[in-house]
Every structure is written in C-alpha cells, then in structure tokens.
C-alpha cells in the first residue's frame, strides 16, 4: 500500500476533465494528470513516441480509472514538461523514477505503451522494489527484431501523413483493413474529446531525441529478462508493423511471470486502443488479481 | 500567335471552378486546368515542390486569367498526372515540353515558382523557340547558394508541421512576423476555396524524387544564362529562407533581359502569394508590354 507525501488530489471523474498539474523534479517541471480512486497502488502510464498527455485513449484511461488510481505524465522536454528530452531509454527511465518519487510514491504499477514499454522494462529492472506489476503493450525487448526500423518508419509515415493530411497514427497504429481503419478514425476522434487545456505538441528536437533513443534500444544487446520477478501482462495487435508482434510473444515467453493476452486479430500497434473494450477489463483483472 | 490543335476549351470564369482535364503524353495522362481568354499566347504555370493543381493561389491565377490564357498542370506522377515522377529537373522540363506540345501549342509564356522556376530555366534554354516570355518567382539558378539545403529544410518543416498540426508552408513560405503569418493563414484559406474535384495530394515517393531533383539542381555547376534572349521577370520576397533571396537578385543580374521586381518586404518564398495585389498587375504588364 502506497500513499503520496503530497496533499491528495481531488478525484476527477474523467480524463477529459482531469486538470494538468505539475511537480518539480530536480528543477524541471513534470506535467501530469491524475484520476480515479485516491487510494491503492497507482498505475503510472508511460506513453509512446511523440506522445503527450492527450495521446492516451480516454476510453482506456477512464476504463482503468473506474477502479484504479491513474497517473499519466509527460516525459522530460515533451508537452507540458520542461527540460530537454534525453536520447536514451535509460535516461527516460531515470526521469520516470524521479517523477514517481517526487509525487511521493514508493510502490507503483507501470503501464508502458511502445516506447513507454521500453522505459517500463528499464524501470522494473533497475528499481525492482518500486514496481508491483507491469503492463506492456505494443512493445518489445532491447534488441528486438525490427525495433531499430521504428525511426525510419515513423519519419516516413509522418511525412506521408503530412503530404496527404492524414494522421500518421492511422497507418502506424492500425491495419489496412476497413474495420481497423474505421477503429483508427474513431480513436483519433476520441483523442479530440478534450477541448480545454490540451497539452502542447512535442517539438521536433524532442521527437528526434526519442527517435535516437528508440534506435539505440533496437540495436542494444538483448537484456536478461529472467531476473524480473513482477507479474507482467503483455498485449498487442497481431499485425503490429512498428514493433513487430513477434516482440510481444517474445517478451511474454522470456519474462518469468509474463502473461500474454491473445494478440488482437486485425489490429496493429494500437491494438489496445482498437480493442479497448476487451483490453480494459483484462488489465483490471490482472492488476487486481 | 499560337493556337491549339485540339478543340478549344470553354472559357471558365475562375480557377475555383476550372474543370480538371487531362491530355495523353506518350501514354501517360497529364492533368491540367485551363482558364482565361481562349486566344493569345498561353501562360504555362510550373508549380513548386510537392505542389499540385490546388497549390496555386486562386487570386494569382484569377488575376492573371482576367487577361491571359492560363494553363496549370501536374508534373508526371504528381496529383492527377500518371507515371512516375522523375528525379531530375531536366527530365521534368522534358515532360513539360511534351505536355505543352501535346496541347498543340508552339509558343508559350512560362511562369515558374521555386522548383517550377528551375524547370522553366531548363525549358527556355533547351527549347528557345517555344518560349516567348518567362516569369520566375522564389527560385534560383542551378548551383545557387542554399538550394541544396531545400530538401533538408523541407523535410524538417514537414515533420515539424505534422507534429504541431500546422501547414509547413506557414514557416517555409512566409516570414515569422505577425503580418506575414497572417497573410500565410489567409493564403492557406484561399487554397481551400475550391471544394469540388480537388486534386490528389502528392505521394511520398514523388515527393522524394522531387527532393532528389532539387538537391542535384542545387549542387549543379552554374549554367550560362547569357544565352537566354527572352524577357524574364524575376520576383520574390526579400526574406526567402528556402531559396535564399540572393538567388533572385542573381538571376535578374545574369539574365540578359532579366527584370527584377523590387523584392517584397517582410515576405518570403511565397512573396508573390502574400503580395498578389502587387504581383498580378506587374506580371500582366510584363506579359503585355
């Protein structure tokens, strides 16, 4: 059981209305949003490449917040967080730990999506006493196949998206099928539900620093995951073209207490958003078991 | 005096309503729009990097079409034109000549903007008898200073624009001043005036081919412009950060019959759009003198 040293935040009914707060970490301001019950082990959300607070699907956050205390935050130098964005996953993990401790927590659950999942793996390996349970989605281990291609793929999709005035997440997070594309457009609409106090978009230098960090992670020597004793729930779509789905299976197999959610059919990197109806109860069950 | 071999097109009152036609050139379909009086030497518009038919400012086209026959077209493999986009300016110039001849013209005026200005320079050098007068805007000679940086600058601005959901043309075509940015937003709104039968956006492979062509042009040995006998009107903003304005002055100085429009103050690469009120009468005067 963990409780913050700071004064408790008033509980908020939905992510759409959650105020954006900040906490000082070594002189830098870290932006975050909090909602859900005020007690219990908080679930810290670790976002994907280029993501800010507004990139979390409100259905997923609200679904989890119905029963868990949820805290989403911006990485250093991204969105509402000040400072300059580091270009290694290790450094992002150190930031996340400092942020968690700055809020006064000594035990948390982690939910890392894509790059956030890389960060979560480093946190749990380096600060095992801080972490109770982990959820990894659309992610892979250091050195996992195809991860070093994420930067080139992301730049390509971003340029293409700019030329065709389409959000690159449609092609990066969803499959080409009509169903998945429809789900993608619905997801993009949900991301717009919050209309006030939206977060700042990522800057180009921060985006580049993250791309560099991801490339290094993809080229890193595979780490030994056998020392991770926490329960880890691993989820993804079966057709992830960013962090190939094979990485998800590989994580589940190599983590001693890894638990694989059957890969979502006709879904990609954004599988947990596309299939939020299935993912949310499964994640809650995992966190509460 | 030139007249098309094909049946004359019905005259159209505005670029917004100009039908998109096509003509076959060596088995490829070239998309174009035509408006203005049906007689007189037609003015062929040569568009900028990534541009399609919908990238011409309707105020400029309509202004010129009030007195001149105007024909805008899509380069090979771009927008509504089929085929694959060449990666040299020389090859684009060959395409343009084939397109002009396919429409049955044996004498035209050229109006090239940025990359379109590179193409116009090659056409006039290689097909001097085809060209009567030339207008060059926001462009420069082969090997001109800074032109080889256009691809990197364009990619950077496009990525930044995608991350911040802002049209990259705002930063590439206009200065940072409040006035120029306001003019930029007004220009972007004008580009949306046409709501039906809009052109297809450029594809990523075609964009890349054009970037390659521009980089080669920027690194080319300067060509001898002293053989160009046509009158050439040269215009630009005084703060062009894409094709630095020095190139505009240089063109006017090196072209035997070059005529420099005083550079538009507090305007950039899109100076002729920002200052369309001044540019249009100046261009008409030049074409009709």
Domain ranges (residues) in chain B: 20-288
Instruction: Give the list of residues 6+ apart from residue B245 with CB closer than 8 angstroms, or none.
Output: B236, B237, B238, B239, B263
Question: Which pLDDT band, with edges at 50, 70 and 90, does A11 fall under?
Answer: low
Residue B235, C-beta contacts closer than 8 angstroms, at least 6 positions apart: B135, B136, B137, B138, B248, B260, B261, B263, B264, B271, B272, B279, B282, B283
- Put simply, whether A172 touches B (Cβ < 8 Å) is no
Summary mean pLDDT of chain B: 95
B22 vs B197: CA distance, rounded Å: 13
pTM of this prediction? 0.88
Give me the sign of the Cα torsion angle B228, B229, B230, B231.
positive
When scoring B55, B152, B163 by the number of chain A Cβ atoms within 10 A, the one with the most, hence best to mutate, is B163
What residues of chain B lie within 8 A of the CB of A50, using their CB? 163
* B1-27: pLDDT as tens digits: 444 444 444 456 799 999 999 999 999
Residue-level pLDDT at A12: 64
Length of chain A: 289
The 3-state DSSP class for residue B30 equals: strand
Chain B residues with CB-CB distance to A164 below 8 A: 201
Please provide residue B277's backbone torsions phi and psi, each rounded to the nearest 5 degrees: -60, -35
- Residues B196-251: tens digit of each pLDDT: 999 999 999 999 999 999 999 999 999 999 999 999 999 999 999 999 999 999 99
In the prediction, which pLDDT does B12 show? 64
Position B8 scores a pLDDT of 45
Name the burial class of residue B289, with classes exposed (0-12), middle (13-18) and buried (19+) by CB atoms within 10 angstroms of its CB: exposed
Residue A131 has pLDDT above 50, yes or no: yes
Task: Determine whether the interchain pair A168/B162 forms a contact, defined as Cβ–Cβ distance below 8 Å.
Answer: yes
Q: Across residues B130-138, what is the average pLDDT?
A: 98
Q: Where are the beta strands (DSSP E) in B153-223?
A: none
Q: Tell me the residue length of chain B.
A: 289
Contact call for A165 and B201, based on CB within 8 A: yes
User: Which chain B residues have a beta carbon less than 8 Å from that of A159?
Assistant: 155, 158-159, 162, 204, 207
Spatial distance between the Cα atoms of B16 and B192, rounded to a whole number of angstroms? 9
Tell me how crowded residue A187 is: count the other CB atoms within 10 A of its CB: 22
Identify the pLDDT of residue B13: 77
CA distance A113 to chain B (A): 19
For residue A202, give the nearest of B163, B201, B202 by CB distance.
B163
Contact B204 A159 (CB under 8 A): yes
Torsion angles phi and psi, residue A185, rounded to 5: -65, -35
Write down the pLDDT at residue A13: 77
Average pLDDT estimate for A98-118: 98
The answer to whether B161 contacts A162, with C-beta atoms less than 8 Å apart, is yes
Residue of A nearest to B52 (CA): A163
* Residues B36-58 pLDDT 10s: 999 999 999 999 999 999 999 99
- pLDDT of A43 > 80? The answer is yes
B111-117 mean pLDDT: 98
Please check whether residue A96 is in contact with residue A124, taking contact to mean a CB–CB distance below 8 angstroms. Answer: no
Q: If you average pLDDT over residues B72-82, what whole number do you get?
A: 98
Enter the CATH code of domain B20-288. Answer: 3.40.50.1820
Report yes or no for ipTM above 0.85.
Answer: no
Q: What angle do CA A76, A77, A78 make, to 5 degrees?
A: 95
Half-sphere exposure of B282 (CA within 13 A, CB side): 20
- Per-residue pLDDT at A50: 97
């Amino acid at each position: 059981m963990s409780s913050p040293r700071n004064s408790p935040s008033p509980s908020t009914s939905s992510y759409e209305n959650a105020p954006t707060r900040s906490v000082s970490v070594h002189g830098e301001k870290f932006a975050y949003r909090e909602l859900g019950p005020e007690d219990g082990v908080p679930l810290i959300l670790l976002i994907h490449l280029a993501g800010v607070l507004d990139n979390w699907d409100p259905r997923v956050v609200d679904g989890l917040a119905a029963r868990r205390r949820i805290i989403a935050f911006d990485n250093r130098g991204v969105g509402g967080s000040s400072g300059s964005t580091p270009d290694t996953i290790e450094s992002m993990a150190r930031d996340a730990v400092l942020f968690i401790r700055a809020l006064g927590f000594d035990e948390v659950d982690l939910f890392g999506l894509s790059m956030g999942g890389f960060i979560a793996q480093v946190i749990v390996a380096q600060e095992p006493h801080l972490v109770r349970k982990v959820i990894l989605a659309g992610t892979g281990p250091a050195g996992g196949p195809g991860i070093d291609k994420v930067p080139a793929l992301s730049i390509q999709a971003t340029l293409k998206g700019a030329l065709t005035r389409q959000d690159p997440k449609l092609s990066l997070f969803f499959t080409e099928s009509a169903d998945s594309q429809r789900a993608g457009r619905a997801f993009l609409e949900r991301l717009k539900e919050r209309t006030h106090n939206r977060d700042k978009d990522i800057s180009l230098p921060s985006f580049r620093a993250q791309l560099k960090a991801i490339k290094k992670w993809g080229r890193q020597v595979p780490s030994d995951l056998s020392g991770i004793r926490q329960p880890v729930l691993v989820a993804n779509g079966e057709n992830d073209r960013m962090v190939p789905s094979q990485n998800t299976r590989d994580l589940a197999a190599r983590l001693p207490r890894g638990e694989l959610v059957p890969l979502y059919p006709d879904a990609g990197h954004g599988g947990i958003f596309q299939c939020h109806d299935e993912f949310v109860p499964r994640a809650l069950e995992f966190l509460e078991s």
